[in-house]
Amino acid sequence: MQDKFTKILKAISDPTRREIFHALILVTSALPINQIATNFNMTRQGVTKHLKVLENANLVTINSQGRERYCIANAKPLKEVNKWLQFYEQFWDDSLNNLGKYLDES
pLDDT in tens, 22-76: 999 999 889 999 999 999 999 999 999 999 999 999 999 999 999 999 999 999 9
pLDDT score for 68: 92
CA dihedral 7, 13, 18, 20 (to 10 degrees): -70
pLDDT score for 1: 60
pLDDT score for 69: 94
CA nearest to 16, candidates 34, 35, 42: 42
Instruction: Kindly state the average pLDDT of the residues 82-89.
Output: 89
Please write down the HEC assignment for all residues of 61-91: EEEEECCEEEEEECCCCHHHHHHHHHHHHHH
pLDDT tier, 12 (very low <50, low <70, confident <90, very high otherwise): very high
Q: What is the pTM of this model?
A: 0.82
- List of domains in the chain: 1-75 (1.10.10.10), 77-106 (no CATH)
